[in-house]
Structure 1
Amino acid sequence: MPKAYTTIAQASAPPRRPDAPKKTAPLTTEQQKEKRDARNEKQAQIDAEVLKWMQETNELANKLADRFDLKPRYFLDIFFQGGAHMINHQTTTNPYNAFKSVKATEAREPRVQDVANVVRNMKMLMFGVGQRVGIEGFFVLVRNNVDFKMEPEWYFTSKELENYMEIVTRKKWSTSEVGMRLEAFAIAGCDPANMLRTTHQKVNFMKGEIRSILAKNLAEVSKVSDARLAWKWFEEDVVQRYDVVLEGWTTARIVDPSNISTSLSVVRTLLNAVKSEEAADRLKTWEEDHRAPRCDAGVPRKRGREDDEGSGDEEDQEGQNAAAGDGQEDGDENTDAGASNDPPPPKKQARKSTAGTKASKASKAPSANASSANSTVGKRRPGSGTKILRSSKKTSAENAGRDDETTRAALDRLKAARSRKNISSEVVDSGDEENTDPSANGGAVIVYNPLMTTA
């Protein structure tokens, strides 16, 4: 029938549940008669067999009674009830049983008194706040174990509020019945899944609870109130979008809970992990790669001779740079424009391992005339690979005009250097071999100045 022509009863009927069993086609009158006749015949056969069984049992009970000189009821009780007396059964009273009964009563009494005291205080508090502020409400207290006896405790601030519950629920409201149902639910563990009947209903309820808990957790972790779990494209729409990862998932793959196995144990395991936050969304931790610290970090290491020789080039270069700076601070004159190609000074004779290397490098440097070598000051020119040195001819009288820390330090070093012997060396020209003739370089001689070396 089209929807436009449906009756009011059909339109107002509740929708069918998705898990409701499908309705079969109605049977005809002949089919119903055949099924009814078959059912009656089957029941008649069952009744005949049960009657035969009871007759055989009674005959066997009478036979055993004659044999052991007992009543037939004795053997029937053993067979059907295991020998227990279900009527007028009373445990033998002894001091130990009486002691246990007294202790059990004493243990239950404090609980009942505690609950009664709390209920009285709650009623007074709600009445007081209602008089001061103006509120209406109710509460109910039920037990969640069977260790003591207590009726459900209800309290309504007004009788009209209790009458309104029947209107708002659109059903017959019975306060005592609702209290008993709440008590049964609490004793069952407050788990709605335990109140369901079939396994299919329990599995569907657990899957919905898993989905709701994970959605709430995602909103809290990502700080996005409308965050949604897109299970189809989980990596793109959840992990990359909100920078979160789902850890602790108990199944093989992260899929929509609707696609998980319908096994009750599998779904219950996942639900317990989600409730305990073992399986939950967590923010990604971005850790930058860094070098591992040394095992002897913070411990001063002693430099060996090999380290000094291996880093001689850098040390000499740094020492010459420092010497050039000291020379400028001492008031030396600036170098000429054409003095950038003069040969570098020789190294200390104490460093024999690096003297040959430095000499070979110096042999490739271009030669300069004697006038430029004698008139330049030891300073590193910008863009030049060599240093020009000359012996300082300034006296202490010329430096007396400067009275600062740099000048005083330079004078102290100069006095200390005069006590040591100056080391001289010939200038090496630009050829591949050393030239021992000073006249080839214009008679220029480079004097080693201790002020130009590092400590």
Structure 2
Amino acid sequence: MSANGSETPLSVTIGYGPSAVIAVKPILPTKCKAVGTTSGQQSLSIVWTREKQDAIDADLSSFFRLAETQAATMAEKYGNKPDYYLRLMFSGGMTMQRAREPSAFNAWAHNLAKEVNEDADTGDALNLLDLQREHLDEYHKLSAAEKKELVESFKEERNSRKMGTRVNLRGRQADANNTFNKIEDMIIGLKCRVGIDGFYCFFKNNSEFQMRPRWFFTSPQLNHYLMGQIKWWDVEAIGALSEAFSITGCDLMSYLCNARARSDWVKTEIRDKITAALIKITENQKAIMHYKSYEKDIVLNYGIELVGWPDSLRFACPSDLPTTLEPLQNLLQAIDNGKCYFCRLSKSERAQRRGAHQQKVAEGSVLTRQPRSDNGKKCAPYQRHKQVDPEADQEEGGTDAPPRKWRRHRDHDNNEEYSR
């Protein structure tokens, strides 16, 4: 808040996600026939997996040592530090590549493999390349309309895989953990490449999915700093409150205690949205909505008019409107739907409104602001006040000394006067 009472613009950028996400189709778990394995086979598989992972770690370690050696060699050759060349080698983070647009051939091959291998046992599925070679003539016989239909069907299935709701709890948990890990990897990589710090908090929005609020800080010291600087900073309390509010549908009305609090909140929303619409149409960030002098300061000054105000409510400042909730909600809904909005007046309409307003002012039916009592009079020149010498004040007793008493004396006309 600035000195003159106006709100200062935010120095940060805040982004919001969509208010609702429509799922195309739920993702059904893949139907696979279980393959029975003995305990001996499981033990051998575990041992083989560990040996494979140890071999991978050894190869990666040798690769990292080679990279450090190469970076040191390049530093001696070109003059920069070894860390500079290591950053060039390893950019960090993950790259989110845009998915390719599906082609008719890929869509046809996908449907072919799904139809042929639908009832196949594990390990008996036919190779995709072999299927394409055997049924290639069927693809060339397809018409353009059939190919287009295959592409649209493939796009719909891909979107359902991306946005569809998972029906089993284990799939939801695995999907959430994988997504969080990818986000954290990307944030850490961006921190290495660009130089950023931050945190996030994710929580569930329904009671069917069991997950605790998840926080992530790029630096542990950031959380400790916020705990010392912000009063009542508690990640557990913030996560729990956010989760409870999200489960209720992010509806503020359900958290307000009484009808008066709900109506005050709706009035605040109406006032803020009308002011935002006024600033948008006038392109003036300092524009203020005037309700009492609406005709003079809004219609005639800016050449605009607010249309769509409900007939059930008198036109006034939202704070002066009655506390009945239904008409206030109707007005707020009209503003959100675009039925109540500002529109510009033409030159002829503006001149007509100006003439009608001047006639009402002359008749006295419109209350106008009274002029100042000294309007039109010549004012005396401004005189500066005499500055007090602090040294003289200290000689008389210091700044902390009490003021001298007023003394009464009489002049020649026996009029009482007071002086120090």
TM-score, length basis structure 2: 0.41
Look at both structures and tell me which one has the larger radius of gyration over its CA atoms.
1
RCO comparison, higher one (Cα < 8 Å, 6+): 2
TM-score, length basis structure 1: 0.38
